[in-house]
């Protein structure tokens, strides 16, 4: 089975590619902007015709699109998160209409949730900021494409290698650099919002299952832990893992996107039914693996 992973050099894509490489029946192909890619492409600027020609030459049986942007202005977000999936779908319709497309969406597409509840895939989508809106536009492009496609609507990913662009990765690196002394201070934003964290290794397993599962799949599947916790719990776990002896001050300004969403929690029962998938890693597992990856220690076994 020939599987093309787009965005394989990114955080999520790297874990997805690693998972797929372990499948004995898979021949892995790489697409993106990095040198040596089997499919050199930037979905933010690609045109459907030339992309279709390149895809036809590769003849993939499945495509996993992990390319996406989490930062930047609305234009940059739209180019990658909305235009990119639309161009990919148009090219696949020409070049490989029978290929399975797995696209990584985001729980940010739902917008603010109601405290104490989980949202299913049929819940209204009310994104609170350009990131969620552009991810939703990408989801619509995929689900309306007519392809054999599924969108994995991902919760807040955490785990080994988390980038500094997100809160888990930035806090872990700040703790590493803060030093062990009691005079050290970690300044963060408001940690009271609730988020549904998912281990990046569990996400990678879901993507591999979605790419290789025979038969039709639902158009959208939630992939998260199915449990909302205060962001404070994540930070406290990193503090314990690091041995940080200083104090934590919630005085730094947080993102407007985070402030607008006090609760996120997804119902993952549809993914369990369709893929036989369920999260295996606890938040404590994810925090331990993240800290190990930042501190240069061996990452705990999966």
Q: What is the mean pLDDT of residues 154-183?
A: 94
pLDDT of the residue at 257: 56
Q: At what angle do helices 167-178 and 231-242 cross, to 10 degrees?
A: 30
Residue 265 has pLDDT above 60, yes or no: yes
Q: Record the pTM.
A: 0.95
Residue 180 has pLDDT above 90, yes or no: no
257 or 178, which is more confident? Answer: 178
User: Using an 8 Å Cβ cutoff, are 129 and 141 in contact?
Assistant: no
DSSP 263: B
Q: What is the mean pLDDT of residues 149-178?
A: 96
- Burial bucket for residue 61 (CB in 10 Å: 0-12, 13-18, 19+): middle
How does residue 181 score in pLDDT terms, banded at 50, 70 and 90? confident
Token look-up 């996120």 returns 264
Q: What is the mean pLDDT of residues 159-167?
A: 95
DSSP state letters, 118-130: -B-TTS----SSH
Quote the CA–CA distance of 134 and 80 in Å, as a whole number: 8
- Across the chain, the runs of DSSP E, i.e. the strands, are 2-6, 27-32, 39-40, 62-65, 100-106, 148-154, 156-158, 185-187, 194-195, 197-199, 220-223, 229-230, 247-249
pLDDT in tens, 110-142: 999 999 999 999 999 999 999 999 999 999 999
pLDDT of the residue at 259: 66
């Amino acid at each position: 089975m020939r599987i093309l992973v787009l965005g394989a050099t990114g955080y999520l894509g790297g874990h997805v590619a690693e998972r797929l490489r372990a499948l004995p029946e898979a021949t892995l192909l790489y697409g993106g902007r990095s040198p040596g890619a089997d499919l050199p492409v930037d979905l933010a600027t690609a045109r459907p015709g030339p992309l279709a020609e390149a895809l036809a030459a590769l003849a993939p049986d499945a495509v996993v699109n992990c390319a996406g942007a989490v930062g930047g202005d609305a234009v940059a977000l739209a180019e990658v998160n909305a235009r990119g999936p639309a161009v990919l779908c148009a090219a696949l319709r020409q070049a490989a209409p029978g290929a399975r497309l797995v696209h990584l969406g985001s729980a940010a597409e739902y917008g603010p949730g109601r405290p104490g509840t989980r949202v299913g895939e049929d819940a209204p989508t009310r994104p609170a900021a350009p990131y969620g809106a552009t991810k939703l536009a990408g989801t619509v492009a995929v689900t309306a494409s007519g392809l054999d496609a599924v969108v994995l609507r991902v919760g807040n990913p955490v785990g080994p290698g988390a980038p500094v662009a997100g809160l888990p990765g930035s806090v872990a690196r700040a703790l590493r650099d803060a030093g062990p002394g009691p005079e050290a201070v970690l300044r963060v934003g408001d940690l009271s919002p609730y988020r549904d964290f998912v281990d990046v290794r569990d996400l990678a397993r879901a993507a591999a299952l979605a790419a290789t599962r025979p038969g039709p799949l639902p158009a959208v599947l939630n992939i998260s832990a199915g449990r909302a916790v205060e962001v404070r719990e994540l930070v406290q776990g990193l503090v314990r893992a690091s041995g940080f002896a200083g104090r934590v001050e919630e005085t730094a300004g947080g993102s407007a996107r985070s402030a607008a969403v006090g609760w996120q929690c997804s119902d993952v029962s549809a993914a369990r039914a369709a893929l036989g998938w369920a999260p295996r890693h606890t938040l404590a597992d994810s925090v331990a693996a993240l800290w190990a990856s930042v501190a240069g220690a061996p990452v705990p076994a999966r």
